[in-house]
Amino acid sequence: MASSASTVDPPLHVVGLAFASEPDAHHALHEAWRLHESHQLAVHDAVLVSAEHGAAEVVESLDPAPVAAAVPASLLGAIIGAVVAGPIGFLIGGAIAGATGAAVVRLVDTGIPHRIVAQLRARTKPGEATVALLVSDEQAHAIDELRALPGARVVLED
């Protein structure tokens, strides 16, 4: 009896690390990206929340999903538009489909959930910055490496 190999995506979870300053949090974000590029950590989304200059706010987000949805949607819309209405249809179809694809992905919330970002904003103390990473469970060693960064304090594990 032949066994069928199916690929199952590993579970994802959010890790939030607080730092005493925004530059320290940026360093952690760059370290996470380095681990991602060296295939030691699968980063699906990242958010940097800072309260360094007042109320906590999102200062950086790496959610690639809107662009990833907008590009193929634009191409498909452009092709359909060109077939239906010629060159003008190409432009209009591409623009409308691309904007629609990006908007749908924003509404579906494929990255770090908005409720978690709100929790991080509430938990980030004045003067601090927090990095939240949406990562695969299977790379615990890389996550431990980020937890061990100087000044890192775990504020969320979901």
pLDDT in tens, 52-102: 888 888 776 665 556 666 677 777 877 887 888 888 888 888 888 777 776
pTM value is 0.67
- Quick one: angle between helices 22-37 and 140-147, nearest 10? 160
Residue labelled with tokens 């949406």 = 134
- CATH code, 11-63+123-158: 3.30.70.260
Kindly state the tokens that stand for 141: 């060693």
